[in-house]
Amino acid sequence: MEHLLTLVQSNAVVVSASILLIAYVFIALEKIPKVTIALIGAAITILLGLVSQTKLVDGSINPHYFINFVDFNVIFLLVSMMIIVSIATRSGMFNWIANELLKLTKGHPKLVLFTLGVFTAVTSAFLDNVTTVILIMPVTFFIAEQLEINPLPFLITEILSSNIGGTATLIGDPPNIIIGSAAGLSFMDFLNELTGVVLVILMIIVGLMTFIFRKSLKAAPEKMAAVANLDNSKTITDYPLMIRSAIVLGLVILGFVLHDITHIETCVTAMLGASFLLLFEKPKDILGDVEWNTIFFFIGLFIIIGGLEASGGIALMAKWILAVTKGSQEATAMIILWASGFISGIIDNIPYTATMTPMLLEIEKTMGADYTFPLWWCLSLGACLGGNMTIIGAAANVIVSETSAHHGHPIKFMQFLKYGFVTMIISLVISSVYVYIRFLH
């Protein structure tokens, strides 16, 4: 065993990179649950001594202690927001808002598609994408049934909108939570730098989908009247819970906005909101709704990447990027933006972002914070918007696809690719122009 550990230590970069690469391959193949792959990879990383099992060395904190590589800001923010959203959803408040918006469309299918797209995007900016699509799908199937039209145009638009909307804020998409925590970027930083360009992309893409699907978006006048006169009076099932949840969610978001003044970390603000709401609930019921698979996937992944970081592999990647681009900020920014878009369309954007953030921190050490600042936004835009390329590009895409197939309306891989690829290219072109004008010009 000692001989093996010595061999691993002398080839630490190769071994840690191999573990990460093999984990990527198995995650992409989707034959084994990704949480299982991440935890196996993490256990092997610790076992081989790529990260340390010992907290203290000679009375000092060991920098290579495996727990040090787990970003608990990300973990606690995710868990807390999942708890808040789970409790708020039980009141029916999000469905009530969706129904009220749909009534305003008077049942016109094109307006319904536009409204569902925008509602999905805005909701995805403040809740996570998966929760948003789970909330909106029952409403979508009901509306399509009422109008007697195919739900696929609505569902495809919702997938695209959820990934676009999630790009706009710190809490909208897990890659942004990872980036925000690593780079020390606040909720307001994301709002100031990304919300404007995301809004432009959203309007263009939802408008484009409305045009593309225009022939499918036709319904009889009496069917439209049924949607216009939706009975929304019984949607909210628990008024005290709705009021409590709305106040807490509002205060938590306000806490995120005021971070630069209060200096209270977003994860602490979210934990305060979640713990207050849990006072009125049975924790066992609510904690069952937390996506523990996702949480432990993150933990395992952070440890695997920690092995590559501790071995010096991440620093080598950073040097390689700077060598290829000859230190040009414009070239580095565009490579990160476009590579992130294409890679995130094929593999999960969470492990990709978790691998790239320490690399950008290494670039920051060499080139400085001003050089690296635009690169964080390139990573965010590429990783989040790239998820639209394929039906497996993001978790929300997969959930909509599976649910739609269960309802007898399968979304085929190549069918989605037609819309997803065009959406991604348009999104990245707009993002490139924005990044160049805003940061590089």
DSSP annotation string for 221-265? HHHHHHHHT---TTS-S-HHHHHHHHHHHHHHHHHHHTHHHH---
Within a domain: 82: no
Q: What per-residue confidence (pLDDT) applies to 252?
A: 92
Question: Average pLDDT of each block of 10 consecutive residues along the chain (441 residues)?
Answer: 78 91 84 90 94 85 87 88 89 85 87 94 87 86 88 95 95 91 94 96 97 91 83 88 94 89 90 95 89 87 90 87 91 95 84 90 94 97 93 82 87 91 97 96 82
- What residues make up the domain containing 176? 2-69+93-235+291-440
Compute the distance between CA of residue 175 and CA of residue 297 in angstroms, rounded to an integer: 13
Within a domain: 387: yes
Within a domain: 248: no
Q: What per-residue confidence (pLDDT) applies to 239?
A: 93
Within a domain: 404: yes
60 forms bridges with which residues in the sheet?
57
Within a domain: 260: no
Mapped onto helix, strand or coil, the DSSP state of residue 72 is: helix
Q: Give the distance between the most distant pair of CA atoms in the chain.
A: 79
Residue 316, amino acid: L
Within a domain: 51: yes
Compute the distance between CA of residue 271 and CA of residue 297 in angstroms, rounded to an integer: 20
Within a domain: 88: no
Q: What per-residue confidence (pLDDT) applies to 174?
A: 86
Q: What per-residue confidence (pLDDT) applies to 206?
A: 97
Residue 134, amino acid: I
Within a domain: 246: no
Q: What per-residue confidence (pLDDT) applies to 251?
A: 95
Total domains, the chain: 1
